[in-house]
Amino acid sequence: MSVRGTQDLNDCLTNVNCIPVELTEGVYSHEGMLVTAREILARMSAMIKAFVKDGYELLVTGHSLGAGVAGILSILLKREL
């Protein structure tokens, strides 16, 4: 799965939303990236689980803003799968 980097004004607003929020106990995340990662997970969760169930491995990558979102998404996926 690839997460694209900053492309438009909405992405710029996501970048600016950099308030630290707790991801796990004692671990903080960029709020805008966390919100985006959770949105992707909510939309893609069923498909991701189906692929993993069938034995496929999932590689999550991204560029710029997408790299941060991909890293956080990976943490969320580890919890869920």
Query: What are the residue ranges spanned by the domains of the chain?
Result: 2-80
CA distance linking residue 23 with residue 78, whole number of Å: 13
CA distance linking residue 43 with residue 65, whole number of Å: 19
pTM: 0.89
Tens of pLDDT, residue by residue over 16-57, are 999 999 998 899 999 999 999 999 999 999 999 898 888 899
Report residue 4's pLDDT band, with 50, 70 and 90 as the boundaries. very high
Report residue 81's pLDDT band, with 50, 70 and 90 as the boundaries. confident
